[in-house]
Copies of this chain bind each other. A is one copy, B any other.
């Protein structure tokens, strides 16, 4: 921790700051410069992080030296984590594709959708039983009944199921029915939900909050890991910026950063990142070229009839073409596709 003092700091203030740091069993080092005095504290930065050092008289600014996360960091875990779902490895050499409609739309429908997705060449099936909707008047999902439909879809198609959980009270039942639990963008900092999925033994696909920094994103993963569940898949899905021509702004740049900072696998969501179906294939390719370990896509046989998110949902033919392009791309990047 580096503490920069104000130009007019008094000796009394300096002494008080030094005493405060020593009272935490840490060792401060004061350097007197021409324009500023600074105090460097090397040691357990976590202890200091909890202190409101900026509230001390005479302090101009405080600069952290270490990252606030540990378990998700490549420093403590240099090898990349590979998460197995059935026989599929996420985070390994091969790229995975998860696809399906935004919502579970009925039992017959979800089975049909899973078979379509399987036929197109994807490896996991995604569909939402619980739906977080901006409007209280929008379709809110089939809930627990939808989970049972998803089990049926898995049975028919053989594809493992990815589905969202929104409420700490539902973690148990979702974990019973699904293979991967998704935490949505609006719940990235729903800490009690993170704690609950941290206690189960199922992979968690953690979506990036729509305005979460990379540090906050990794801290949310840290919540899950620190509660015991090491199987977290990071999922960039676009961020909110000043640009409103698309629903979100594609955050492909975050892929090399997160791969540099963390050992966790990264599967990206180009559908939400763009919000416009025509731009989804280009966005998916950009994510993969940037180094992502896979994609999660909204796909539907007939997007104009989708119960939700139809405007960003690609149709069957586009899904087939995209997977074929991704295969060529993966090979050019010395990877392959599941």
Q: A: which residues have CB within 8 A of B?
A: 2, 4, 7, 20, 29, 31-36, 38, 40, 42-43, 45-46, 49-56, 63, 65-66, 68, 75, 132-139, 166-169, 186-187, 189-192, 210-211, 213-216, 219, 222-223, 226-227, 238-246, 249-257, 260, 273-274, 276-279, 282-283, 285-291, 303-304, 306, 308-311, 313, 325, 328-329, 331-333
Contact = CB atoms under 8 A, between A and B. Distances in A.
Contact of A289 (B241, B273, B274, B288): B288
For A50, A169, A288, the residue with the greatest tally of chain B CB atoms inside 10 Å of its CB is: A50
Contacts of A311: 52-55
A221 to B, nearest CB: 10
Contacts of A135: 49, 68, 219, 222
A304 B52 contact: yes
Contact of A33 (B43, B49, B238, B255): B43
Contact of A50 (B139, B239, B279, B289): B139
Given A282-B256, A310-B54, A242 B213 contact: yes
Task: Identify the 10 closest CB pairs spanning chains A and B, nearest first.
Answer: A52-B310, A250-B253, A33-B42, A211-B211, A289-B289, A54-B311, A256-B282, A332-B332, A55-B310, A186-B189
A275 to B, nearest CB: 9
A279 B251 contact: no
Nearest to A253: B250
Contacts of A216: 134
B286 A253 contact: yes
Nearest to A248: B253
Contacts of A191: 132-133, 136, 166, 186
Contacts of A290: 252, 282-283, 285-286, 289
